[in-house]
Copies of this chain bind each other. A is one copy, B any other.
Amino acid sequence: MNTIKLKSMLQQFFNEDIGDGDLSSETIFSATEQGAFTFYAKQDGIFCGKQIIEIGFPLLDPSLQVTVFKEDGDTLQKGDSIARIEGSLRSLLTGERVILNCIQRMSGIATQAYEAVQLTKGTKTKICDTRKTIPGLRMLDKYAVRTGGAFNHRSGLYDAIMLKDNHISFAGSIAKAVQTARAKIGHTVKIEVEIETKEQLLEAVNAGADIIMFDNRTPEEIADWLPLVPPHIATEASGGITLDNLQSYAQIGVEWISLGALTHSVTALDISALVEQKGAVTYGTR
């Protein structure tokens, strides 16, 4: 990840939550009171967000001492300690929720990506994401997908060409669309073509597509058509694939499966802050 960009994102996130000040911690505590808390897992999963913690808290207060016990991609078991932050009580309490909101989402994505990857074990299929990410969070969402062991599809509209039905219809044909695009791009850009029929597949192969995407096809259709794709062209299945039916696609030998739900419908991993103090334990924040 680009840490310069990450810092400005975290500053924006803190400003969103803090506004002109934290009414609670600034009124209750003085600037000099000290304390510590520990982030710990409240359920099993894959951790993601080490840099969020290490870079985020010091942005808020450079005097905080931050120790992260887990690496991105590590397995979390319920009760595991993730990180300990020590310093100004005000800063701890002011920063807690924003950091948790980030790492709970990122760990949720990594956990789901990891589960999808496990389902492809023993096959040649790799899992990748899509552009169905939360606006403003693509860098974090895609990093979390990699942390879970899956791969990134294109980053945006700017780094690969993807010709979908609508592009193709307007261009007149797959052959024409591919050739028009190819004539304008450099040698570092790949062209992916979305196909729905065997005829489209053959046209895309002949037009020189770099990647064939089987859009909303059954495993049987794809299995039937795969032999028509020469080895230097990558294959991808997409559309309507979930953790439930993922294995039926992986078993037929398609190289890539892209899953929009990895990032558009995320269940946050439950992580909380446990305050170190005279026996007091706090679970969760608003």
User: Which residues on A are within 8 Å of B, measured CB to CB?
Assistant: 1-5, 8-9, 11-25, 27-29, 33, 35, 37, 59-61, 89, 93-94, 97-98, 100-102, 104-105, 108, 128, 130-139, 142-143, 146, 151-167, 169-171, 177, 180-181, 184-190, 192, 211, 213, 215-216, 232, 234, 236, 238-239, 255-256, 258, 260, 264-268, 273, 275, 277-278, 280-286
Contact = CB atoms under 8 A, between A and B. Distances in A.
26 contacts: A1-B21, A2-B19, A8-B11, A12-B136, A13-B135, A13-B136, A16-B156, A21-B157, A22-B157, A24-B157, A27-B161, A27-B180, A128-B187, A132-B268, A136-B137, A151-B187, A152-B186, A154-B188, A160-B188, A169-B275, A169-B282, A187-B236, A187-B256, A213-B286, A232-B232, A239-B283
Contacts of A17: 131, 135, 138, 156-157
A18 B158 contact: yes
Could you tell me the dominant secondary structure of chain A's interface residues?
Answer: mixed
A152 to B, nearest CB: 5
A185 B29 contact: no
Contacts of A1: 20-21
Contacts of A258: 286
Contacts of A139: 20-21
A166 B280 contact: yes
Contacts of A146: 184
Task: Please list the 4 inter-chain residue pairs (A to B) with the smallest Cβ-Cβ separation, ordered nearest first.
Answer: A19-B158, A13-B135, A169-B280, A165-B282
Contacts of A2: 14-15, 18-22
Nearest to A277: B169
Contacts of A128: 186-187
Contacts of A137: 134-136
A145 B12 CA distance: 22
A37 B161 contact: no
A165 to B, nearest CB: 4
Given A18-B5, A164-B282, A180 B266 contact: no
